[in-house]
């Protein structure tokens, strides 16, 4: 029964990302860099935007299953994690820049559009990954407890 529940929750999450949903929770905190609204982060930086390592791993699993993420499931949202997320954002939420894995203002604005549409973000679409953006990103990541 537990395996069936896990399968259904993960399948629902996988379907959700295709239309705007994702992943879950756990202990641990990843090192991260917070980009300024007008600056871009180095493509090698880890930018978890407030997610724990376990939450970020769940995001990576969905990105692997649906958005061509092929690196380790390590809980560190680095360049390739963000490239996969940019592919999703480009298809569904108006990301219109290069798929480069940089978490600059254009990536954050597309993320904010998604979070506003699906995950309760109420702030401005301004490219600043502040506390409201991070809280909504965390809500999204906690949507699938068993992924």
d(CA 134, CA 14): 21
Are the C-beta atoms of residues 27 and 142 closer than 8 Å to each other? Answer: no
Q: CA gyration radius for the chain? A: 14
Alpha-carbon span 99 to 102, nearest angstrom:
8
So what's the pLDDT on residue 145? Answer: 61
- Predicted confidence at residue 115, as pLDDT, reads 96
Determine the distance from the C-alpha atom of residue 13 to the mean position of all C-alpha atoms in its chain, rounded to a whole number: 13
For the entire predicted model, the pTM comes to 0.70
Q: How far apart are CA 28 and CA 72, in angstroms?
A: 17
What are the tens digits of pLDDT across the range 61-103? 989 999 999 999 999 999 999 999 999 999 999 999 999 999 9
Give the pLDDT confidence of 14-60 residue by residue, as tens digits.
Answer: 434 434 443 333 333 344 444 444 444 444 468 999 999 999 999 99
């Amino acid at each position: 029964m537990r395996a069936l529940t896990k399968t259904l929750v993960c399948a629902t999450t996988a379907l959700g990302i295709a239309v705007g949903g994702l992943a879950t929770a756990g202990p641990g905190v990843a090192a991260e860099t917070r980009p300024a609204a007008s600056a871009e982060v180095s493509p090698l930086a880890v930018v978890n935007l407030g997610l724990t390592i376990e939450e970020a791993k769940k995001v990576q699993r969905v990105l692997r299953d649906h958005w061509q993420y092929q690196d380790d499931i390590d809980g560190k949202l680095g360049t390739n994690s963000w490239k996969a997320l940019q592919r999703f954002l480009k298809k569904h939420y108006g990301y219109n820049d290069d798929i480069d894995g940089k978490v600059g203002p254009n990536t954050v604005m597309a993320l904010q559009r998604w979070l506003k549409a699906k995950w309760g973000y109420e702030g401005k679409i301004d490219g600043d990954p502040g506390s409201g953006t991070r809280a909504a990103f965390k809500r999204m990541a906690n949507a699938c407890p068993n992924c």
